[in-house]
A and B are shown apart, each in its own frame.
Chain A
Amino acid sequence: MSVSTPEIDIRIPTILRPYTGGEKSVQASGATLAEVIQDLERRFPGMEERLLEDGKLRRFVNVYLNDEDVRFIGSLNAVISAGDNITILPAVAGGA
């Protein structure tokens, strides 16, 4: 990871905290969301598989960059800047 990519805060949902030793918030770095997820996987193995499927964000996992749903700002190509924060929330969904 290049020194120019900022460490940013990532809020981890309950269901993924087993991967982070119970931490609610962790740090990772990358110039794009894809790189941040790669870095998360290095630090917390197993995380990537919970977030991605066939190289794309899983349909029922929501990832927000600051206050925006990343699906509207480039998904995995969303650009990360110093001071940003990421929130991961599984969809609350179901059906009959």
Chain B
Amino acid sequence: MLSISQELVDAIWAHARADHPDEACGVIAGPVGSDTPTRYIPMRNAAMSPTFYEFDPMELLKLYREMDDRDEEPIVIYHSHTSTEAHPSRTDITYASEPGAHYVLVSTREELAGANEFRSFRIVDGVVTEEPVQIR
């Protein structure tokens, strides 16, 4: 289960809506081993694409150095889908590389505008498992 504050959920939605129709992406870091997302870090989608996202490699290095220095890890890795449902795509599964993270997806496609589709998944060795989301 992902347990996350309303404030962080709102921040992810705001980012996703602002970047629509491109995919938005980012991380919520938290203390190592805590499973608690606390520090919101929106990232630039270097691909600037409605169908793909990628953190810029230099910004990725900076992010991981910073988390190391603060004894943090990526608790949530989020991105938006802008014309499909909030479920990991084949590409998402291929590149998922943080087996300990909650992969959060939101969908900003128009037909779902009122649905507030916010979902969380574990992606481990190519296997996707959806999990409940508890908003604190």
How many A residues face the partner with a CB closer than 8 A? 18
Decide if A93 is an interface residue (CB 8 Å cutoff).
yes
Q: For the complex formed, measure the closest distance between the CB of A62 and the CB atoms of chain B, giving whole angstroms.
A: 5
Q: A92, B25: Cβ atoms under 8 Å?
A: yes
List B residues 32-65 near A (Cβ within 8 Å): 43, 47, 49-55, 57-58, 60-61, 64
Q: A92, B91: Cβ atoms under 8 Å?
A: no
Q: A90, B79: Cβ atoms under 8 Å?
A: no
A interface residues (Cβ-Cβ under 8 A, vs B)? 13-15, 60, 62, 64, 67, 69, 71, 87, 89-96
Interface hub of B81, B89, B92, B95 (most chain A Cβ within 10 A): B95
A93 CA to B54 CA in the complex, in Å? 4
Q: Which 9 A-B pairs have the closest CB atoms?
A: A94-B92, A90-B97, A95-B52, A93-B54, A95-B91, A92-B55, A15-B97, A96-B84, A93-B95
Q: B53, A95: Cβ atoms under 8 Å?
A: yes
Q: A91, B91: Cβ atoms under 8 Å?
A: no
A90 CA to B92 CA in the complex, in Å? 13
A49 CA to B61 CA in the complex, in Å? 22
